[in-house]
A and B are shown apart, each in its own frame.
Chain A
Amino acid sequence: MLILQILLNAIVLGSLYACIAAGFSLVWGVLNVINLMHGSFIVLGSYLAWGAYNALGIAPWTSLLIAAPVFFCLGYAIQRGILNRVIAAPVLVTLTLTFGLDLMLNNAMLVAFKADYRQLVLDPSLGALSMGSLVVPIDRIVATIFSLLLTLALFLVLRRSRVGRAIVAVRMDRDASRLMGVDVPSIYATAFGLGAAMAGCAGVLLAMIFPISPIASGSYLGKAFVVCVLGGLGSVPGAVVGGLFLGIVESFGSLALGPEHAVTLSFALLIVFLIVRPQGLLGKQGFE
C-alpha cells in the first residue's frame, strides 16, 4: 500500500514538474537559449496567486486566467527588447545575459516580498480524498489536473495553431522560414512569451501546494533542467515523460536513501543522462 501511495505522490509531483519544464523546454528548443529566469517567473506566478487570493479573493485556478496573459506580455517584451539583440551570439553570452536578468528579477522580488516563506491557505480547505488507505489532498489533485491541462494546451497550440506551426518551422530551419514569410524575431518573442506564461501558470499551481519564497527559484530552475535532459529537449511529450520519470525517481529515491539525498540523486541522474543519452528518453531532434 505504501508503494501505491508513493506512486500517487510521484504522479502528482511529476505532472507539476512537466508543467514547470514544458515552457523551459520550448524556449531552449526554439531559441537555443537557456532561460535562467524561468525559476523566478515561477515564483513570481506564485506571488501573483497569493496576492490575488489574499487581496481580492480570487481562487488560484481563476488566477491562471490573469497569469497567462500577464506573463506572456512580460516574456514577449523581454525577448523583443533585450534577448533578440544577442540571439545569434554564442551560448555563453545568452546564458550569462539571462543570469543577469534573473539576478535583477530575483532581487526585485526579495525587496518587494522579503525572503519569508508565505503560504497560500485556501479557506475553506478543500479537504482530502481517501480511498482505502490512500490519501490525497484535493488541492493537489486540482493542481495535477490543471498542470496536465496546461501542458496539453501548449501541445495543442504548437500542433494546431498557425503561430504554433510557425514556431516549429523556425525551430527546424530559421532561414527557410524567413524566406517563407515568417517574422522570425516576432516568433522568437512569441515562443519566449509562451514559455514565460507556462512558468507563471506553473507558479500559480505550485502556490497551492508549496510555500512561496524567492529563494525557491533556483530549485525550480534545477528541476526544469533535469526534466528537459531526462525527457529529451524541445518536445512537450518529452517534458511530460521526463517530469513523471523525475517524480518517480525522487519519490522512490527519497524512500530508499532518505529525503536529503533526493536532490543529489536527480543531479547525478542528470549527469549520467547527459553523458550516456544526451537526447533524453524520447530522443528527438528539433521541436515537434
Chain B
Amino acid sequence: MKQRIYYGAVVLLVVFGCLPLFGSSYALRIGTFACMYAIMSVSWTVIGGFTGYPSFATAAFFGFGAYCGGVLITKGWPWFAAAGAAGAAAFASALVLGIVLLRLRGHYFAIASLAVAEVLRELTNSATELTGGGMGLNIPVSVAGSSSIMGEASFFFWAMWALLLSTFIAVRVIQESKLGFGLACIKQNESAADMIGVNATVYKSLAFAFSGVFVAMAGTLYAAWVHYIEPPDVFDILFAVKPIVMALLGGLGSPAGAVLGAFVFLGIEEMVWRNYLQIHSGVLGLMVVVLLLFLPDGMMSISKRLGLIGERRG
C-alpha cells in the first residue's frame, strides 16, 4: 500500500514533466512554481517532518541560494555550476550553523531559524557592492539557450522539475537509510536516541543541511528565471511558512504528501490571487486556520479516515 503511493507519486511527477509538450506559457509558469514549492516542502520534511524540529530557515536557504547563484551567474558562471555551488555552500553553512542552532528546541529553535533569514536579509541589504543592496540584483544573462518565450519557459520548467525529482528521490533515500531511522529516533525521544548511540548532533545537522541544499539550488534557478531579485523578495518570511503549511496540508512527515500539499496549495493560492487580489493574504490565513483546526493530519489522512469508516461498516 505504502509502496503504491510512492510509485503513484513518481508516475504523477513524470506525467507532470510532459507539461511543456502541450501547455501554454501561463501553465508553464504555474508548473514551475509548483515544482519550486514542492522542492521547498519536501526539503522541509527532512528537518520538520522526520526530525521534528520546527524550522523556519527555508526562506534563509532560498534567499541564500538565489543571491549566491545570482551573483555567480552575473560573474559568468554557467547556471548548473552556479546552482551546484550555491547548493554546496548552503549545505556546508547549514551543517556548521546546525551544530550551533540545533542545540535549541521548540520555540527557541523556531525563532533562531527565523532570525537567520532576517540577519541574511539585512546583510544582503548592506553589502551593496556585491549584491546591489536594496536596489536588487539584475541577472541579465539568459541561461536558457533559447530566446523565445516558450523556449525559456520550458527550459526553466524542466530544470525545476528535474530538481524536484532529484529532491524527492534524495529525500526518499534519506527516509529509508540509517540517517532517516536515526532522525525518527530523535523525533520520538532525543535523549533516548543519544543513549543508544545515535549521534544526535551530527544527525540533526545533516538533516538541517539536507533541508537546505535543494532549496538553495531552487533559489538559484528562481534568480536565473526571473532575472531580478531583491532582498525582501527572496528572503520573504512567507517562504519560511508556506512549506510548513504545504507539508501540513499533505500530511506531516510524508514526502509524497508534501508534494501533493504543495500542488494543492499552489492551486488554491493561484485561484485566490486571481479572484481576490486585495484580500489574498487574508484568505491564505483563513486557509491555514481552517486547515489546522479541522484537518490537522493533512490530506494523506483522509484516505485513512475513509478506510476506518469502511471497516466500521463492515
Asked if B285 and A102 sit within 8 Å, CB to CB, the answer is yes
Asked if A101 and B289 sit within 8 Å, CB to CB, the answer is yes
Bound together, the chains give a CA A90 to CA B248 distance in angstroms of 12
Question: Quick check: is B296 within 8 A (CB to CB) of the other chain?
Answer: yes
Query: Which of A160-168, A171-179, A270-278 is the contact stretch?
Result: A270-278
Question: Assuming the A-B contacts A92-B244, A95-B110, A96-B248, are A271 and B115 also in contact, with contact meaning beta carbons closer than 8 angstroms in the complex?
Answer: yes
- Selected from A99, A106, A268, the residue in CB contact (under 8 A) with B288 is A99
Asked if B289 and A104 sit within 8 Å, CB to CB, the answer is yes
Report whether over half of chain B's contact residues are helix, strand or loop; otherwise say mixed.
helix
Asked if A91 and B122 sit within 8 Å, CB to CB, the answer is no
Number of contacting residues on A, CB 8 A?
40
- Selected from A34, A107, A222, A267, the residue in CB contact (under 8 A) with B282 is A107
Return the chain B residue nearest A102 by Cβ: B285
Question: Quick check: is B116 within 8 A (CB to CB) of the other chain?
Answer: yes
Chain B residues within 8 Å of A271, by CB: 101, 112, 115-116, 119
- Selected from B104, B245, B292, the residue in CB contact (under 8 A) with A86 is B292
User: Which of B122, B244, B296 has the largest count of A CB atoms less than 10 A from its CB?
Assistant: B122
Question: Assuming the A-B contacts A92-B244, A96-B248, A275-B103, are A103 and B115 also in contact, with contact meaning beta carbons closer than 8 angstroms in the complex?
Answer: no
User: Which of B278, B282, B287, B296 has the largest count of A CB atoms less than 10 A from its CB?
Assistant: B282
CB distance from A191 to the nearest CB of B (A): 16
Question: Quick check: is A76 within 8 A (CB to CB) of the other chain?
Answer: no
Bound together, the chains give a CA A275 to CA B293 distance in angstroms of 33
Asked if A268 and B285 sit within 8 Å, CB to CB, the answer is no
Question: Quick check: is A218 within 8 A (CB to CB) of the other chain?
Answer: yes
Asked if B296 and A275 sit within 8 Å, CB to CB, the answer is no
Asked if A107 and B110 sit within 8 Å, CB to CB, the answer is no
Question: Quick check: is A264 within 8 A (CB to CB) of the other chain?
Answer: yes
- Selected from B111, B245, B281, the residue in CB contact (under 8 A) with A106 is B281
Question: Quick check: is B123 within 8 A (CB to CB) of the other chain?
Answer: yes
Asked if B292 and A263 sit within 8 Å, CB to CB, the answer is no
Query: Binary interface profile of B, 268-287, with partner A (CB < 8 Å = 1, else 0)?
Result: 00000000001111101111
Asked if B289 and A97 sit within 8 Å, CB to CB, the answer is yes
Asked if B111 and A225 sit within 8 Å, CB to CB, the answer is yes
Asked if A103 and B112 sit within 8 Å, CB to CB, the answer is no
CB distance from B233 to the nearest CB of A (A): 15
Query: Binary interface profile of B, 285-309, with partner A (CB < 8 Å = 1, else 0)?
Result: 1111100110010000000000000
Asked if A91 and B106 sit within 8 Å, CB to CB, the answer is yes
Asked if A274 and B111 sit within 8 Å, CB to CB, the answer is yes
Chain A residues within 8 Å of B286, by CB: 100, 104
Asked if A104 and B111 sit within 8 Å, CB to CB, the answer is no
Query: Binary interface profile of B, 64-99, with partner A (CB < 8 Å = 1, else 0)?
Result: 000000000000000000000000000000000000
Asked if B288 and A100 sit within 8 Å, CB to CB, the answer is yes
Question: Assuming the A-B contacts A86-B293, A274-B104, are A96 and B112 also in contact, with contact meaning beta carbons closer than 8 angstroms in the complex?
Answer: no
Number of contacting residues on B, CB 8 A?
39
Asked if B107 and A34 sit within 8 Å, CB to CB, the answer is yes
Bound together, the chains give a CA A86 to CA B293 distance in angstroms of 7
Asked if A107 and B279 sit within 8 Å, CB to CB, the answer is yes
Question: Quick check: is B13 within 8 A (CB to CB) of the other chain?
Answer: no
Asked if B292 and A93 sit within 8 Å, CB to CB, the answer is yes
Asked if B296 and A267 sit within 8 Å, CB to CB, the answer is no
Bound together, the chains give a CA A106 to CA B284 distance in angstroms of 12
Asked if B118 and A263 sit within 8 Å, CB to CB, the answer is yes
CB distance from B107 to the nearest CB of A (A): 6
Please provide the chain B residues from 223 to 244 with a CB less than 8 Å away from any CB of chain A in the complex: 237, 241, 244
Return the chain A residue nearest B247 by Cβ: A92
CB distance from A40 to the nearest CB of B (A): 11
Question: Quick check: is A111 within 8 A (CB to CB) of the other chain?
Answer: yes
- Selected from B100, B115, B125, B280, the residue in CB contact (under 8 A) with A267 is B115
Bound together, the chains give a CA A263 to CA B116 distance in angstroms of 12
29 contacts between A and B (CB under 8 A): A32-B107, A34-B110, A34-B111, A82-B289, A82-B293, A86-B296, A91-B106, A92-B48, A95-B107, A95-B110, A96-B244, A96-B245, A99-B241, A99-B288, A101-B289, A103-B282, A103-B284, A105-B285, A107-B279, A107-B281, A111-B278, A229-B111, A264-B126, A267-B122, A270-B115, A271-B112, A274-B108, A275-B100, A275-B112
User: Interface of A with B (CB < 8 Å)?
Assistant: 28, 32, 34, 82, 85-86, 89-93, 95-97, 99-108, 111, 218, 222, 225, 229, 260-261, 263-264, 267-268, 270-271, 274-275, 278
